[in-house]
Amino acid sequence: MPDIALQASALAPLTTLSDDEILFRDNVRQFADDKIRPHVKEMDEKGVFEKDIIHEFFRLGLMGIEIPEQFGGSGAKFFEAILAVEELSRVDASAGVIVDVQNTLVNNALLRWGNPEQKKRYLPKMANDTCGAYALSEAGSGSDAFALQTKAELRGGNYVLNGRKLWITNSKEAGVFVLFATLDPGAGYKGITAFIIEKNFPGFSVGKKEDKLGIRASSTCELILEDCRVPRENVLGEPGKGYKIAIETLNEGRIGIGAQMIGIARGAWEFASKYAQERKQFGKPIADFQGIQFQIAQMATEIEAARLMVYNAARMKDADVNFVKEAAMTKLFASQVAERVTSLAIEIYGGYGFTKDYPVEKYWRDAKIGKIYEGTSNMQLATIAKLLLGAR
């Protein structure tokens, strides 16, 4: 009977990757199987991610993949970050999203819009020992992201921020936050400004941790700003230009979510395929029945299609080609595939799949968030339609 590692190779075409990328991918896969898989069930039940694993992320260079070597990072490409997110999510989506947010959102924003002093101060931390979080959402601003009400007021050499953020990933572990506030709520998107906030800034605190359906080991909390004092030099980019940072960063982040979703789908497919060859009914493995064979084949086909979309969008980003439409399509389709594949995996397991004693129900729970965060499926459809048809 083939083991999980061999099953994985059936859904990992080597022809799309260079030798170095294959080696990197395989190393991350081995690490995920050896070091993360034994803790997945306990982390999910407790809703807490093991700190030792996060330390390993830093030791392996997974938290600063695109950060230049001069700042202590790996100096690699965006594509490697996508490979890492996929392989980690195949074992645990919470692990995947921690690395995803760090690389595709926080580090990305600092690399693109940080000034030399900000890069010198923060990039070594992000590469070596500090988790990051990206704080945009609020109670009244989800899909309508620029309806945010967190207010920033310049007082002397500091900005003073007041408001609350919701649904902030990595917030329990993070030491640095890229946070968005408005200088003038009446100015709409033109008032939005991005700030680099450190966890120990006066007036800043992390609030309630959400009790979630899936990716439970990944912390999702509210952030509370009560006269939070932020040095003027911690504005990221320019005052009033935060909307550009938010939009362009999220475009890249959506490719990361696509990678997370194909990792989730792959993990569920591997278990379902293996189980189908072990489970016997009517005197033979259920994998001998054509109905099961067709389901496994359909799942594999959709995973492969989603992977090619994710890889293509990531390659476009690295090639500095406009990828906005492709990123939206990638997130939309990969999240659909993850939901379908994980649901079918439960059905292949039958009644066992509906219990927490077997792994596939967790993959299904983890998959659901893909259609929601970093832009809902409806928002992706709106973006795709606008780019195909023009503004209406």
Please name which of 71, 124, 133, 129 lies closest in space to residue 103, comparing C-alpha atoms. 133
C-alpha distances (whole Å) from 184 to each of 68, 145, 180, 193, 283 are 36, 15, 12, 10, 71
Tell me, rounded to whole angstroms, the distance of Cα 339 from its chain centroid.
16
Please give the C-alpha separations between residue 47 and each of 40, 51, 213, 214, 267, in angstroms, as whole numbers.
Answer: 10, 13, 10, 10, 20
The answer to whether 343 touches 188, Cβ cutoff 8 Å, is no
Q: Note if 374 is an active site residue.
A: yes
Return d(Cα 342, Cα 299) in angstroms, integer. 9
Q: Which run of H or of E encompasses 67? A: none
User: Whole-angstrom distance between the N-terminal and C-terminal Cα of the chain?
Assistant: 56
Counting beta carbons within 10 angstroms of the beta carbon of residue 34, is it exposed (0 to 12), middle (13 to 18) or buried (19 or more)? exposed
* Residues shown for the chain: 392
CA 176 → CA 41, 197, 236, 300, 353, distances in Å?
A: 28, 6, 13, 39, 39
Which residue in 173, 326, 361, 374 is the catalytic one?
374
Which residues are marked as active site?
374
